[in-house]
Amino acid sequence: MKDLDSRELAGEVPAPAASEPTASVNSKAEGSTHLGSRVFKNVVTLIGGQGLGLLLSGAATVLLARYLGTAQLGEFGAVYAYVGLYAWLATIGLDTILARHAAQDRENAGSILLTGVFLSTGFSLAAMAVALLLAPSFGYSHALSVLILAGVDVLLFAPLRLPGIVFQIDLRQWYGVGISLARQFLWLLVLVGLAHAKADLTLIILGRTFCAMLEVAFIVEAVRRKGFLVRPWRILSSEAKKYLSYGFPLAMSTLAVGVYQRIDQVMLHKMASDQVLGNYVASVRLTELLSLFPVAVMTSLFPILSQTANDEKRFLQYVHLSFRSLMALVFGACVTATLFSGFIVREIYGSKFEGAGPSLAVLIWSEVPVFFGVALNSALVAKNLQAYLPFSTGVGAILNVALNLWLIPRWGAVGSAWATNISYTLAAMIFFLGFRATRSWAWFGLRLLTPPCLLSVVIILVLKRVAMPAILEFASALVVYGVGAWMLGTLRSSDINHLAQLIGMRPNRLNGNMS
C-alpha cells in the first residue's frame, strides 16, 4: 500500500517524480514515518485531550447539577437546547466543507477560511435574530436575557472558531485540544467561584459565555502567531457560492440533527415539568460526554479520508478500522450503563437525581447510532456524498418529534429516551440502505456492528437474571465483553498491527485485507 507523504497531505509540494526512483523511495519512507508519527501524535493528543476533557466536563456537569438542582438544571439545559436548534444556520454547513477544501488546497487555506468566516458571520447574525424572534412561541418569553447570552456563545462566536480548522487539516490538533482544555478548565474554575458566590442562572450563563470569548481569542491568536495560514488572505468571491452549495446539504443535515438531538429537551420543557427535564438533562449530559470520543477520532482521520478518497483500498482500510474500533467501545459502554445506571447517577449527581437512572439506561443505546453515524458521515463527506445526509436526518427529525408527542405524555423522560433511540437508529443507520450510492457503506458498518451488539444484549440479559454482588457483576461484565469481543473479531491483533504500521514501528507495508 502506498503511504502518503506528510507534505503531500498538506498540499505543500508535489509527489516525488517517477524519474528519481531512489530519492522517491527514500522520500516515501521518510514521509510515511513523518505522516505516521504525526497521525499517531494527533490521535493520541485527541484521545488524551478527550480523557482530560471528559474529566473537566464531567466535573463541571456534576458541580452544575448539584448546585442548580433538578429544576434549574432543566431550565439550563432547555436554554442551550433551544439556542442549539439554530446552530445549523450559524455556520451553514461550512465547517466540514472548508476543512475538505483547505486540506486539498493547503496553499490557499487562509483565503478559503477567511471566505468561510465572512459567509458564516452573516448567517450567524440571522440565526440570532430568528432565535429571539421565535422564542416566545417555544415558551421562552421570560428568558430572553439568558437566551441572548447563550446565543452569543453558540451562534455569534461560531464564525470566529472556523480558523481553528487549520489545526485539523495540518494534523496538529494539539493546538485545538489545548485551547479546548483551557476553556474547560477555566469554566470549571468560574463555576466553582459562581457556586461559592451563590450566583443565579443568568450569571452562570454569562460566565460560560465569557469562557467562550477567551476560547475564540486563543484560537485566533494561535493561528496568527504560529503562521499556520500563508498570507495574503483574500475573500474568494468566486468560490463563495460553491462553498454554500456544498455546505447547504450539510446545513440541512445539521438542522435536522439539531432537531432530533435537542427537540426532546425543548418538548419536555413545554410538555412536562422542569423537574422531569432536569433528570433527563442529567442523563443526556453523561451520554454527550461519551459522544465526544468518536468526534475526536474521526476529526483526526477526516483529512486522511479526504486525501485517500480516490484510493479505494487505503480508504477502506481507514473506514474499516474506524467502524470496528468505535463499535467495540460503544457497546462496552452500553453494557456498563445499562446494568449500573442507578449506581452511576447516584454516585455522580447524588440521590436527588435518582430519577435519571431509568432514562440513562435507555438513552445510552442512542450512542450506538451516534458512533455509527459519525464514522459513516465522515466517509460519505470524504466521498462527496454529503447530499444524502439531509434526507436521513430530516426523516429522523420528523420521526423524533412525532414519537416525542406520543411517548412523553405516557412515559415522560423514559419515553423521550426511546424516541431518541428509534429516530437516531433509523436516521443514522437504516436510512442509508435505501440508496445505491450509500448502501454498501451502511451495510459495511452494520456487518461490523452486529457481533458486538448481540454480545452486549446476551451479557445484559444473563447478568440481570443472575444475583451477585455489584462489584463481581461489574467485573464479570467487563471480562466477558472483552473476551467475547476478541473471539468475535471486534477486537483483533490486526488492529494493533495496523496502528504499528501507521506510526512507522514496522517496516513492512500493510496489506489491503482488514476484514
What is the rounded distance in angstroms from the CA atom of residue 414 to the CA atom of residue 357?
10
Ordered by start, the domain boundaries in the chain are: 24-502
DSSP class of 186: H
Supply the angle between the helices 470-488 and 436-465 in degrees, to the nearest 10.
Answer: 140
Sequence-distant (6+) residues with CB within 8 A of 56 are: 181, 184, 185, 187, 188
- Residue type for position 433: L
Q: State what percent of residues in the chain have pLDDT above 90.
A: 33
Q: Which of 362, 366, 210, 207 is nearest to 279 (CA)?
A: 362
pTM of the model: 0.66
Question: Residue 43: what pLDDT?
Answer: 61
Number of H helices, E strands in the chain: 19, 0
Concatenated DSSP letters of 433-453: GGSHHHHHHHHHHHHHHHHHH
Closest CA relative to residue 73, chosen from 410, 413, 415, 342? 413
Give residue-wise pLDDT tens across range 92-112.
Answer: 888 888 888 888 778 887 888
For residue range 390-403, list pLDDT tens digits in order. Answer: 788 788 888 989 99
Q: Could you tell me the sign of the dihedral formed by the alpha carbons of 270, 276, 278, 284, in that order? A: negative
For the chain, what is the mean pLDDT?
A: 81
Q: Which residues of 260-298 are buried (b: 16+ CB within 10 A; e: fewer)?
A: bbbbbbbbbbebbebebbbbbbbbbbbbbbbbbbbebbb
pLDDT for 204 beyond 70: yes
Per the document, the length of the chain is 515
